[in-house]
């Protein structure tokens, strides 16, 4: 991937840095993709900076986090770039579904094996290989990176950190779908994208990956106690039990009164970016 394939769509000044949006043709997803980037003021001075890769949740694009989380102020203070990809392939030729939790906006960060999804829905490889190569080549990054995400994106962040542990210095999540093999969202997504082979499902399930012995970078998870998806979809208590059993370096916090929204994320994003900065200093 070369910079010739990368188009700057927009750029606005933000806390002495720049909030940018890029477009490129993805060879992995077989479509045109957009992603957002926040570059702190240090990067505009040509200093190479560490980055946090953010994965968004169901129905989101690359713009939800950048417009709602309030992360840029803290990222500017800490000298961190924010890399914010979309949640699925896009375009008229891309297969879709009428439901909000499957198809466009709901790629679940897996490499689909089932038709008609397999041609475009290769989100795991897109994020961990193609996109990271693109931003490393095009932006003033120093090679140090952490990963974070929300809900479906929290699931993606945990899975990528566990499977690509040498790449990420730390991992955090807000209300992640922690055990998708055992919840309705996961059954639907994995059954549709991956078929009936539950062994393949386990490769994209954080709880199952921890149980299989995968190493995990230092971990921070925040879960809202008033989250309406907590009981049925998120399996927070299962993640707590698994983290404790396998002695991970982790903080799992139940935040009473908070829901599943970006108000919750905005309330604790400063904690998460400071957490990542601790491990990105090396």
> Active-site residues: which are they?
151, 227, 260
Of 172, 175, 176, the residue nearest 220 (C-alpha): 172
- Please check whether residue 269 is in contact with residue 240, taking contact to mean a CB–CB distance below 8 angstroms: no
Of 79, 88, 17, 6, the residue nearest 55 (C-alpha): 88
Q: H-helix or E-strand containing 143?
A: strand 141-150
Q: H-helix or E-strand containing 33?
A: strand 31-39
Tell me the pairing of strands 80-85 and 31-39.
Answer: antiparallel
Q: Which residues, including other chains, have CB under 8 Å from residue 211's CB and lie 6 or more apart?
A: 242, 246
Compute φ and ψ for 257, nearest 5 degrees: 90, -10
Q: What are the DSSP calls for 226-251, one per residue?
A: T-TTIIIII-HHHHHHHHHHTT-SEE
Q: Which two tokens stand for residue 135?
A: 């931003």
Q: How many helices (H) and strands (E) does the chain have?
A: 11, 9
Residue bearing tokens 């950048």:
66
- Please check whether residue 38 is in contact with residue 14, taking contact to mean a CB–CB distance below 8 angstroms: yes
């Amino acid at each position: 991937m070369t910079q010739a394939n990368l188009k700057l769509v927009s750029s606005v000044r933000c806390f002495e840095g720049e909030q940018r949006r890029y477009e490129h043709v993805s060879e992995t997803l077989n479509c045109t993709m957009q992603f957002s980037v926040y570059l702190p003021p240090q990067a505009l001075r040509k200093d190479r900076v560490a980055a946090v890769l953010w994965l968004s949740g169901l129905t989101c694009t690359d713009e939800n986090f950048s417009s709602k989380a309030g992360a840029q102020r803290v990222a500017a203070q800490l000298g961190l770039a924010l890399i914010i990809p979309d949640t699925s392939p896009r375009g008229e030729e891309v297969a879709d579904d009428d439901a909000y939790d499957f198809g466009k906006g709901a790629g679940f960060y897996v490499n689909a094996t089932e038709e008609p999804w397999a041609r475009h829905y290769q989100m795991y490889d897109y994020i961990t290989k193609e996109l990271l190569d693109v931003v490393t080549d095009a932006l003033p990054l120093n090679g140090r990176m952490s990963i974070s995400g929300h809900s479906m994106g929290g699931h993606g962040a945990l899975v990528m950190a566990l499977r690509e542990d040498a790449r990420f210095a730390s991992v955090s999540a807000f209300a992640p779908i922690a055990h998708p093999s055992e919840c309705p969202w996961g059954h639907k997504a994995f059954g549709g994208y991956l078929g009936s082979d539950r062994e393949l499902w386990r490769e994209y399930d954080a709880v199952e990956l921890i149980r299989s012995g995968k190493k995990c970078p230092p971990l921070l998870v925040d879960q809202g106690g008033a989250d309406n998806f907590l009981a049925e979809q998120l399996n927070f208590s299962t993640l707590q039990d698994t983290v404790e059993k396998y002695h991970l370096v982790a903080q799992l916090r139940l935040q009473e009164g908070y829901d599943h929204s970006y108000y919750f994320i905005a309330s604790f994003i400063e904690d998460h970016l400071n957490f990542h900065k601790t491990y990105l200093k090396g």
